[in-house]
Structure formats: C-alpha cells, structure tokens
Amino acid sequence: MEHEITLVVNGTARRVRVPARRLLSDCLRHDLGLTGTHVGCEHGVCGCCTVLLEGRPVRSCLTFAVTVDGAEITTVEGLAGSDGRLSAVQRAFAECHGLQCGFCTPGFLCTVTALLADNPVPTDDEVIEGISGNLCRCTGYQNIVKAVHRAAELRAEET
C-alpha cells in the first residue's frame, strides 16, 4: 500500500507516493531525484546519508519516508545560498581539501552545518566528537577537522 506524503525539501514542498517501507534516503534519491545524498552502508553507521531534519542531522537510511510526512528536510543540494554561493562549510571543505572522492562529503557537510549552528566556535575535541559519527575512507579526517575550524571562522566573518 502506498502513502501520499509531503516533504518540504530545501524549502520546496514535494508531494510523493511511497510504500511504507520506502527509506527516506531512497525517496530523496530515487523518487525526488536528489542524488546528492549518498548511501554507504544502509545500516546507520557510515553517515553518508545524513540529512537535516528540522535542522537536526539524521540518518536518512534509517528513516522511513512516511514517518517524516510534513517535515522540513535539508539535503546537500540545499546548503548553498539561493544565489548559488557556497555555504561557509562548503567553501571551507574546498579550501582545506576536506574531500577526496566526495562520496561521504554530503553527510559531513550536513553534520557540520548542524554542529556549527549549535556550537559556532567548537574546540578541537568538540570538532572530532562532532564528526565522529561519519566515516571517510579517503582523507584521514585531518583536513576535515581543519575545514570545520575554517568554516567556523568563515561563518563568524559573515555574521
């Protein structure tokens, strides 16, 4: 049986019919065509599929789409400004070489966006703790940590 739901994705209301078992990650990727959200393990460990649900990071591979009917969701496609300017977090990742293959990157960007919203000037330990739910196989995390600090600086300059 299918359910009609509405997801407010990156500011736009999207109506979609999904079976109850449809994962939010699959719904975003395959039903709505927002393939920036990636799926790395489908069991909630790697964090590639992290999106912001009402501003909070969640694993979209552990969330059924029907359970978030009506919710506001931000995916990596919605992080840049409406003018296309990259967010401070996105720019910092580029500047600090915080990505290589880029597969885990959307999850990190969402996680870090929420982290800095909560804690605009995190310490080193807070950064490491804050990103410790996301796996990256390429970078060794060092430049990701650097990018988070840099993003905090860029955010501060902008506000």
Partner 1 sequence: MTTKLFGEPVQRREDPRLLTGQGRYLDDLGREALAAAFVRSPHAHARIRDIDVGPALDVEGLVAVYTWEDLPERVGRALPLLIPHPALTHGRTAYPLAREVVRHVGEPVVMVVATDRYAAEDACALIEVDYELRKPVVGLEEAVHGAQLVHEDVPGNVGAHLVQEVPAPGGHGAREAIEAAPHTLSFRLDIERSASMPLEGRGVYARWDGRDLRVYSSTQTSTSVRMAVAAALGLPLPQVEVIAPDVGGGFGVKIVHPWPEEVLVPWAAMTLGREVKWAEDRREHFISSAHERAQVQHVRVGFDDEGRVLGLDVSILHDHGAYTPYGIIVPIVTSTQLLGPYRVGAYRVEFTAVYTNTVQVTPYRGAGRPQGVFCMERTMDKIARHLGKDRTAVREANFIRPEEFPYDQGMIFQDGRPLIYDSGDYPEMLRMIKELIGWDSFERRPGRGIGIGCYVEGTGVGPYEGGHVQITSDGRVHVSTGLTSQGQGHETAFAQIAAAELGVPIERVSVVTGDTRRFAYAVGTFASRAAVVSGNAIALACRKVREKALRIAADALEADPADLDIADGLVHVAGTPSASIPLSTVAVLANPLRYAFDEEAAKATQFSGTASPDRPPVAEGEEPGLEGRDYYSPIRSTFAAGMHAAVVETDPDTAEIKVVRYAVVHDCGRLINPMIVEGQIHGGVAQGIGGALYERMVYDQHGQLVNASFMDFLMPYATEVPHVETDHLETPSPLNPLGIKGAGEAGVIPVSAVIASAVEDAEGFAVDRMPISPSELFEARRRNRG
List residues binding partner 1 (CB under 8 A). Answer: 19, 21-22, 29-30, 33-43, 45-46, 48, 75-77, 79-80, 86, 90, 93-95, 97, 99-106, 109, 128-129, 131-145
Residues near 102 by beta carbon (within 8 Å), at least 6 away in sequence: none
The Cα–Cα gap between 41 and 64 comes to 16
For residue 20, the tally of other CB atoms under 10 A from its CB is 11
What Cα–Cα distance (Å) separates residue 75 from each residue in 20, 111, 142?
A: 21, 11, 24
The Cα–Cα gap between 22 and 44 comes to 15
Nearer to partner 1, 9 or 68 (CB): 9
Nearer to partner 1, 68 or 111 (CB): 111
Please report how close the Cβ of residue 14 comes to partner 1 at its closest, in angstroms: 15
Please report how close the Cβ of residue 101 comes to partner 1 at its closest, in angstroms: 3
Please report how close the Cβ of residue 43 comes to partner 1 at its closest, in angstroms: 6
Nearer to partner 1, 35 or 67 (CB): 35
Nearer to partner 1, 68 or 75 (CB): 75
* Torsion sign (Cα): 79, 85, 91, 93: positive
Please report how close the Cβ of residue 128 comes to partner 1 at its closest, in angstroms: 5
Please report how close the Cβ of residue 30 comes to partner 1 at its closest, in angstroms: 6
The Cα–Cα gap between 66 and 93 comes to 33
Nearer to partner 1, 47 or 68 (CB): 47
Tell me the three state secondary structure of residue 144.
Answer: helix
